[in-house]
A and B are shown apart, each in its own frame.
Chain A
Amino acid sequence: MADKPQGCARVTGAVLGDPSPEEPVAKTNDETVKEETMTARVGQKAPDFNAPAYYKGSFTNVQLSDHFGKWLLLCFYPGDFTFV
């Protein structure tokens, strides 16, 4: 959580856990094997992730599972400086 040098790399959120399922089994024909992704569903464990964040004047990193044990409200929105 300590301040880390920010650098110029384009950092982004990353989903954690249950990672890359086994290498896709031999693709048949030219059908693309769809990559298995975690999708949030009610009644199921929330997909864990790690993301850079701005918090009260500082830059920090948030891992969702670090906050399990509390009730969490996760709110996505289209973008900063939008109107609604």
Chain B
Amino acid sequence: MSAVADKYSELQDLGVEVFSVSVDSHFVHKMWNDHELVKMVDGGIPFHMLSDQAGNIGRAYGVYDEEQGIELRGRFIIDPDGVVQAMEVLTPPVGRRIAESIRQVQAYQVVRASGGAEATPAGWMPGDPVLKPGPDLVGNVWKEWKPNE
């Protein structure tokens, strides 16, 4: 979570609000923040740390592991309409790469700003050309975009 906190200002600049969720109580969240995370991130965790002790939220998002009683590393991007646009779920031993979540948010924001007229090709980074799907693009993607560029 400290990795997300570290990128929080970048996320805020993009208008993104962050919520973390685990099966720990909010009291334990306080202890973790105050005693460990504050040593990794200046000022501690800047976003809401949610408690889901019974796993209800985790079940609704398909990330609650009934056998272990924990939540898997699920990451969901929700757009301003409340629609889930992207999800990623990792088992516990591998951490996320927050930069990739930020890139995906940026891509979804470009698509949304275009009203769905634009799409971002594989590997798209902010500033890269976008594709405008339509009759003229059929069979002609190669003119606009190559996988190795």
Contact = CB atoms under 8 A, between A and B. Distances in A.
B145 interface: no
A71 B78 contact: yes
B61 to A, nearest CB: 4
Contact of B49 (A37, A53, A67, A71): A53
A33 B57 CA distance: 21
A40 B49 contact: no
B15 interface: yes
B29 A68 contact: no
A43 B116 CA distance: 13
B13 to A, nearest CB: 11
A41 B82 CA distance: 12
Contacts, number: 204
Interface string A8-48: 00111111000000000000000000000111111111111
Interface in B77-97: 77-87, 92-96
A40 B61 contact: yes
Interface residues of B, number: 71
Given A41-B84, A44-B84, A75-B18, A52 B56 contact: no
Interface in B42-89: 44-54, 56-63, 68, 70-87
Interface of B: 1, 4, 11, 14-33, 36, 44-54, 56-63, 68, 70-87, 92-96, 101, 105, 108-109
29 contacts: A12-B56, A14-B56, A15-B59, A15-B60, A37-B59, A38-B60, A40-B84, A41-B84, A42-B85, A48-B82, A51-B50, A55-B49, A59-B30, A71-B79, A71-B109, A73-B76, A73-B101, A74-B78, A75-B19, A75-B73, A76-B21, A76-B72, A77-B1, A78-B92, A79-B22, A80-B28, A80-B31, A80-B32, A84-B94
